[in-house]
Chain A
Amino acid sequence: MQDKTKETQALMDEGERVMNICNACRYCEGFCAVFPAMERRFSFASEDLRYLANLCHDCRECYYACQYAPPHEFKINVPKVLTRIRRQSYEEYTWPAGFARFFNHPVYMLFLSMVIIPMVFIIFGVMEHGIDGLMQVYTDDQGSFYQVMSHTQMVSVFGLIGLYVLLAFIMGWLKFKRDISHDGTKITGWQDMKQALKDILTMRYLGSSGDGCTYPDENQSLLRRNFHHFTFYGFMLCFAATSVATVYHYWLNYPAPYPLLSLPVILGTLGGIGLIIGPCGLLYLKKKRDKKPSDEIQSSSDTTLLLILLFISITGLLLMLLRETAWMGGLLLVHLGLVMGLFLSMPYGKFVHGIYRFGALLRFTSEGRKS
């Protein structure tokens, strides 16, 4: 614990050192929100650094443009230090606090979400139905999915865990909010909310002036923003598919499985395709990325979330295609296991970046309007 505190202090000292030099230079003020926010400050407490770190989209323009980047003796590497502070901030905001260590060891989360939990689902499935039972072929009319796991089981297990995840997000948000409004700045307001939401939905700060950002190397490219869009909107479409299906089930009394041309399946298929293209693209870019401005641990954390999303969508799409074959039972359990893995990893992995990024942009908009 002592070492951890010391390590955090050293990281904050480095962040403060870097931001002081940046604030004396200011050549990067045209790139993104981080630098204008920095210019509104004369000193950088840990709260300020965590706020700036969550504003940073890791576009890396400032690293390639920096006249003081290593090997210059000032050794300025803003994306790297802000990524590390961002990771520290995730730990800081984690609820319950004991789970914060997952941010330092994303490989545990990967193992848990992609191996252990799907295995647990399989084992339960085998215990309940036997291997032969799982391999049984059902037609859609027979309500295939619910033969393997009843609707009540699904709703209770996922509902409970979903509520827990929601609680963990809320607790994290409250800690985050207290942290970044430590100086009394209010960060809620309808207009600001709209602006911050727009910045998120368009990924404004990965777009620069339309040329994209310097990722994976020093050449500007829109690839990262576009792959992020595929991932984000793919996820949202899948979420919409589930919501529509819920409405069908409870309000229209129309249970799954749905035909290929029904709304939930169309939404889910499009989302699933997005969640294959997006994560594959981001993983490819990640493999090619320049490691000098990177934080390796955060990078593994990114990879973990991308792999979970990718395998959820692969199993989901296969399930749709093979649902009337002997593969259905096994695929369904693996798919549900992966979704459960995603649920559990959300408050303790890369997924939280969206929440805190939104909050930081919200504060950025609010303080910009004030000054």
Chain B
Amino acid sequence: MTSNPDYDVIVIGGGNAGMSAALTARECGASRVLVIEAAPEHSRGGNSRHVRNLRCMHDQALGVFQDSYLESEYWEDLLQVTGGRTNEDLARLTIRESEACFRWMMQQGVRFQPALGGTLQLSRTNAFFLGGGKALLNSYYRKAAAIGIDVIYESPVTGITIEDGKVQSVDVTKDGQVKTFQTRALVIASGGFQANIDWLREAWGPAADNFIIRGSPFDDGKVLRLLMDAGATITGDPDQCHAIAVDARAPKFDAGIVSRVDCVSLGIVVNQEAKRFYDEGEDFWPKRYAIWGRLIAAQPDQIAYAIIDAKSSGLYLPPLTPSIMGNSIEELAKALSLDPTTLKQTINSFNLAIEMGEFDHTILDNCHTSGLTPEKTHWARTIDSPPFMAYPLRPGITFTYMGVVVNEQARVMFNDNKLSPNIYAAGEIMAGNILGKGYLAGLGMTIGTTFGRISGREAASHAG
């Protein structure tokens, strides 16, 4: 390394984690900080442009939060969704830091709003960004400009020079020109690899071609690959990801929140063979929606159809695209290119198996089926009032979990369990340390902010 490198701290990726790192590094005294962003300015911030909220622990009412959400409960929630596939030290660190993250974000000019409308069930645990993720990013970038952080756009990283686990410089390719920046410390916050279909195919086989990528098309995992090639230790399986059921008619990339289909728990879901394959009424939709991506990925041709009848109109969040309708089951089957006889059979046996209780979509009610495989355990109502409506569903990938192993200082681990002295990771690229599988709403933001701030602080202290 030259005695006076170009930067004290370089941050790769300008999303929530990256900006948390850059702003914190600057706060902690690093004078020359550079954020390298692959996307153009209008699409900056990777998946953070599509996020909405932060899950935050609090001992008492705090800002937009009511009541309390204690570490123990937060930890139980996390344990439950991951089935124990989590690094407890890092997970508890994230939980404990979450309250400080909330306060720190407000200091950066981020505005919060209480949960409203369709997200009320999260009002105790999650704070919502006023205007969502893009507004959050705007606050960060405004602050970054005010305190003198350099940002370059449309600059994908194409090389990182690492010697013995220690970063020397970063190569950026902009307009076909390679530029090299030397740095004392490096924070990698470049996200997952979900927009890289070739890589998804390695994990999922040809099924990956039918996936819809909900987030930024710039999250191609190229920086993760550079780290792997340099010998970084990897955690998580390549096929683990946050994947929900999205409207099959949504754009291939970047549709964010609006492509989600909200009526699954109100009706039934059938596959291409017109057969049901999972309990649609297992739990409240917001608690279950993150398992449906994988369920659909396991069906033939990765397609499924959520079917409801007129009774359910207006009971779910409005969709991006209107439903496909039919005045009879046959007509609907035809519109969906499903076998009408099988679909009628499926719906008939579903209707016959229903033990009608008192329908109430706001609680785990007592409307369920009996003697059906699979059962529907709540909100089971007959599908018999035309018009019948359907939404075609595909797996919608939010982000992949496989990433680099870090310690509680966010330092990246290389082969032989050696921690890098000056490379740190934050956000989706290391979320797999905490999320081996499953998902909790708002946790991605908490991990990103916590480890962004830790890596910024550590990088600044190393550079200083």
Contact = CB atoms under 8 A, between A and B. Distances in A.
B273 to A, nearest CB: 29
A349 to B, nearest CB: 32
B130 A24 contact: no
Contacts of A69: 42, 134
Contacts of B1: none
Nearest to B318: A23
Given A23-B318, A42-B314, A29 B256 contact: no
A119 interface: no
Please tell me the size bucket of the interface on B.
Answer: 20 to 34
A39 interface: yes
Contact of B117 (A20, A31, A39, A209): A39
A28 B132 contact: yes
B318 A20 contact: yes
Given A42-B314, A67-B50, A209-B111, A25 B130 contact: no
Contacts of B257: 24-25, 27
A65 B128 contact: no
Given A24-B258, A24-B319, A65-B134, A29 B117 contact: yes
Q: A interface, by DSSP: helix, strand, loop or mixed?
A: loop
B117 A218 contact: no
Contact of A26 (B43, B49, B118, B130): B118
A91 interface: no
B132 A27 contact: yes
A72 B258 contact: no
Nearest to B128: A30
Contacts of B357: none
Interface string B105-142: 00000010100111000000000111111110010001
Q: B interface, by DSSP: helix, strand, loop or mixed?
A: mixed
Interface residues of A, number: 30
B258 A65 contact: no
B409 to A, nearest CB: 33
B298 interface: no
Contacts of B317: 24, 26
B254 interface: yes
Contacts of B42: 69, 71-72
B251 interface: yes
Contacts of B50: 67
Contacts of B319: 24
B184 interface: no
A25 B117 CA distance: 12
A27 B52 contact: yes
B410 to A, nearest CB: 27
Nearest to B42: A71
A281 B254 CA distance: 39
A64 B132 CA distance: 11
Nearest to B45: A67
B254 A72 contact: yes
Contacts of B116: 29-30, 36
Contacts of A42: 314, 318
Contacts of A218: 138
B320 interface: yes
B113 A67 contact: no
A219 interface: yes
Given A20-B320, A24-B320, A27-B257, A219 B142 contact: yes
A62 B131 CA distance: 7
A302 interface: no
Interface in A54-78: 61-62, 64-69, 71-74
Contacts of B320: 20-21, 24
A311 B118 CA distance: 50
A71 B113 CA distance: 27
Contacts of B131: 27-28, 30-31, 61-62, 64-65
A232 B254 CA distance: 43
A25 B258 contact: yes
B49 to A, nearest CB: 5
A67 B132 contact: yes
Nearest to A24: B258
A154 B287 CA distance: 72
A67 B117 contact: no
A73 B259 CA distance: 14
Interface in B29-49: 42-43, 49
B251 A73 contact: yes
Contacts of B314: 42
A281 B65 CA distance: 39
A65 B132 CA distance: 7
A30 B114 CA distance: 8
Contacts of A71: 42
Contacts of B135: 61, 64-65
Nearest to A66: B134
B256 A68 contact: yes
Nearest to B48: A67
Contacts of B134: 64-67, 69
Interface string A11-28: 000000000110111111
A218 B131 CA distance: 13
Interface in B73-119: 111, 113, 116-118
A194 B314 CA distance: 32
Nearest to B257: A25
Interface in A32-54: 36, 39, 42
Contacts of A25: 132, 256-258
B258 A21 contact: yes
Contacts of A28: 131-132
A74 to B, nearest CB: 8
A64 B254 contact: no
A30 B113 contact: yes
A30 B256 CA distance: 19
A71 B134 CA distance: 14
25 contacts: A21-B258, A24-B257, A24-B317, A25-B256, A25-B257, A27-B131, A27-B132, A27-B133, A29-B117, A30-B130, A31-B131, A61-B135, A62-B131, A64-B138, A65-B130, A65-B131, A65-B135, A67-B133, A69-B42, A72-B43, A72-B254, A73-B254, A74-B255, A74-B258, A209-B130
Interface of B: 42-43, 49-50, 52, 111, 113, 116-118, 128-135, 138, 142, 251, 254-258, 314, 317-320
| Closest CB pairs A-B (n = 10) | A65-B131, A27-B132, A30-B113, A65-B135, A24-B258, A23-B318, A30-B130, A24-B320, A67-B134, A67-B49
Given A27-B131, A29-B116, A65-B134, 10 more contacts: A21-B258, A27-B52, A28-B132, A31-B130, A64-B138, A65-B138, A71-B42, A74-B258, A209-B111, A219-B142
